[in-house]
Structures are given as C-alpha cells and as structure tokens.
C-alpha cells in the first residue's frame, strides 16, 4: 500500500498546531534534556580546545612522548565513561517517552508531559531492544553501508511495537517490525529524506536548537502516523 507522504506531513502539522498538551512544548522539554545530557557528556569525555592545541603543538614540534602524555591525561577514565554511557542510555529512554507522548496525542488517549518519563518503566526490556537493534544493524553494516541503512528501517517499528505490546520480547518486536515494514522501507526512507532541509537547518549553530524544538515533534508525529497506517487503515488519524 502506498502511503500519501504529503497527507501525512499535513496531518502532522495539524496535530502540532492543535495538540493539547502542546507537542511543541514537549519538543522543547525533550530538546532541553538532550542539550543538558550532551553538555554533561562533553564535560565528562570531551577534550578542551586548549588541551587539543597543546597536544598539536607538542606533536608538531616532535615531542611525541609529551603529546601522548597530554592525550592520556585528557582521555576519560572508566568511571567517567560509565557515567557518559548511562547518560546516553537515559536519553534513549526519554526519546521513547517522547514517542509514547506522541502516540497518545495522535490517538487522543490522554497525553501528559509525564509520558516523557514512561520509558523508565520498561527500561530493562527497552535497553535490551536497543542493544539488539544496534547489534543487527552493525552486522548488516559490515557488508556495506546500504544493507545497514535497510536494516535500520527494517527494525524501525520495533520500539512502537514494544510500547503497544509490552508482553512481547525484544526479539519478538524485532521480528514483527521486520514483517510490518516489508514493502514500506523505501517509503520510510523517502519520508526521512523529505526532512533533509529541516535537518540541515537544525545543524546550524544557535538557530539549530530553535529548529529542533519544532522539527523533533514534527518528524516524530509523521513517523508515528506512518506506524498507524502500516498497522492498518482503521488506525489512521482523523481530525477531531
């Protein structure tokens, strides 16, 4: 079945305009959380510009041992790396909470901003699903870039399935995503590709953060609407 991408994006904008609580506000909260986690991660594991300049100067002057020592001191220790990993996992779980908020908004099933934390209630199984997804995508990527991209879209519905069917195991969700996306992977790719200009804007300094506040809920709503359509015509969003 061919899904009307233009209609989906129009519906996404309508949902963003009329949703209560506001999808834009939820996007702002999520963006601020992501910025905070990124800042903490950079503080923990990043190398300052001053240190990098010192390393480059030592290396260019032939002081390789001094450069290596500076690099070793700047490299985060096991404790810092572990905290950084936990921060990244927390961000992944919050992103699932944003997906839950989006689905509740589309389905008009009582969305609340607290949905952003709902992913923590299913955290062990959710993290296992994320690990399996990365593992399978990485395996396919070993063959070439394109198989890895195809695999990413093949398993892209797994999180939605786990949200709707918490009784399923992580592997069951991956298998069901593989079945569900059969014949739809190229359409999902085209959907993401249609946001390319927005994505480029979101990568710009300063203004990019403002773009992300709108783009994050916009893209998530469009993907969720695709999920609803792939599940079946009876799940298509209708205006209130």
Domain locations in the chain as residue ranges: 5-38+84-235
pLDDT (tens digit, 9 = 90+) per residue, 73-101?
A: 556 666 666 777 788 888 888 999 999 99
Query: Can the peptide bond before residue 21 be classed as cis, meaning omega within 30 degrees of 0?
Result: yes
Beta-carbon contacts of 169 under 8 Å, excluding residues fewer than 6 positions away, are 125
Mean per-residue pLDDT, 166-177: 94
Q: pLDDT category, 114, cuts 50, 70, 90?
A: very high
- Residue 141 and residue 147 in contact, taking contact as beta carbons nearer than 8 Å: yes
Segment 52-75, tens digit of pLDDT: 555 466 556 666 665 565 455 556
Q: Which of 112, 91, 84, 87 is nearest to 100 (CA)?
A: 112
Lowest-confidence region among 5-9, 37-41, 100-104, 166-170: 37-41
**Out of 3-7, 63-67, 122-126, 234-238, least confident range:** 234-238
The pTM is what? Answer: 0.82
Phi, psi of 135 (to 5 degrees): -65, -50
How long a stretch of residues is the chain? Answer: 240
- pLDDT one-digit tens code per residue, 118-161: 998 898 899 899 999 999 999 998 888 888 999 999 999 999 99
Cα–Cα distance measured from residue 59 to residue 53, given in angstroms and rounded to the nearest whole number: 10
């Amino acid at each position: 079945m061919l899904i009307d991408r233009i209609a989906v994006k129009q519906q996404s904008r309508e949902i963003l305009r009329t949703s209560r609580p506001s999808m834009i506000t939820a996007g702002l909260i999520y963006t601020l959380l992501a910025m905070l986690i990124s800042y903490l991660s950079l503080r923990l594991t990043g190398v300052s510009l001053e240190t990098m300049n010192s390393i480059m100067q030592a290396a260019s002057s032939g002081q390789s041992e001094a450069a290596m020592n500076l690099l070793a001191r700047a490299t985060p220790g096991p404790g810092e790396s572990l905290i950084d990993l936990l921060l990244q996992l927390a961000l992944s779980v919050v992103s699932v909470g944003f997906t839950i908020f989006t689905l509740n908004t589309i389905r008009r099933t009582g969305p609340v901003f607290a949905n952003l934390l709902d992913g923590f209630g299913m955290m062990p199984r959710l993290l296992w699903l994320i690990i399996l997804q990365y593992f399978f995508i990485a395996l396919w990527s070993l063959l070439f870039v394109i198989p890895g991209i195809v695999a990413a879209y093949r398993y892209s519905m797994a999180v939605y399935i786990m949200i709707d069917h918490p009784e399923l195991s992580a592997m069951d969700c991956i298998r069901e995503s593989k079945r569900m996306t059969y014949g739809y992977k190229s359409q999902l790719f085209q959907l993401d590709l249609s946001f390319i200009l927005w994505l480029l804007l979101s990568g710009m300094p300063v203004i990019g953060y403002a773009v992300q506040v709108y783009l994050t809920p916009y893209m998530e709503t469009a993907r969720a609407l695709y999920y609803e359509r792939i599940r079946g015509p009876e799940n298509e969003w209708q205006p209130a």
